[in-house]
Structure 1
Amino acid sequence: MVQTTKRERTKQHILEKAWALFEQDGYEQTTTRAIARAAKVSDGTVFSHFATKVDLLRAGMEKKIAHIFESEVKRLECPTYEDLLRLCRAYYDYYFLYPELGRVLLNDALWQLDKFAHIQTQIQQIFSNPNANIGPQQADIIFDCYLMTLITHLSNPQSSAESAFSVLKNKLSYIINNES
Structure 2
Amino acid sequence: MSKKEQTKQLILTTAWQLFKENGYQNTSTRDIAMASGVANGTVFSHFKSKIDILKAGFSDQLDEVLLNASKKDKSHTAIERMSHYAKALYPFYLSQREFSRELLGTIMWQHSELAPQLARFKHQLIHDNSANAHHADVIIDLYFMTLLYGLNHPEINENELVTQLENKLSLLNVPN
TM range (shorter): 0.7 to 0.9
Any unmatched runs of 5+ in structure 1? none
CA RMSD of aligned residues (A): 2.2
Change (3 A) 1:78 1:122: farther
Number of aligned positions between the proteins: 173
Q: Does 1:152 align with 2:149?
A: yes
| One-letter amino acid of the counterpart of residue 101, structure 2 | R
Q: Which residue of 1 aligns with 2:84?
A: 86
User: Any conservation in 2 of the 1:127–1:133 contact (CA below 8 Å)?
Assistant: no
TM-score by length of 1: 0.84
**For 2:87 and 2:72, how far apart are their aligned partners in 1?**
17
Q: Counterpart of 1:174 in 2: which secondary structure?
A: coil
TM-score by length of 2: 0.86
Q: Which residue of 2 aligns with 1:66?
A: 63
Q: Which residue of 2 aligns with 1:28?
A: 25
User: Any conservation in 1 of the 2:126–2:136 contact (CA below 8 Å)?
Assistant: no
Higher relative contact order (CA 8 A, sep 6+): 2
User: Any conservation in 1 of the 2:81–2:125 contact (CA below 8 Å)?
Assistant: no
Change (3 A) 1:40 1:114: same
User: Any conservation in 2 of the 1:27–1:100 contact (CA below 8 Å)?
Assistant: yes
**For 2:117 and 2:94, how far apart are their aligned partners in 1?**
17
Q: Does 1:173 align with 2:164?
A: no
Q: 1:42 aligns with which of 26, 32, 39?
A: 39
User: Any conservation in 2 of the 1:84–1:123 contact (CA below 8 Å)?
Assistant: no
- Note the C-alpha offset of 1:140: 1.4
User: Any conservation in 2 of the 1:80–1:126 contact (CA below 8 Å)?
Assistant: no
**For 2:98 and 2:59, how far apart are their aligned partners in 1?**
16
State, as a whole percentage, how many aligned pairs show the same letter.
34
- Note the C-alpha offset of 1:49: 0.9
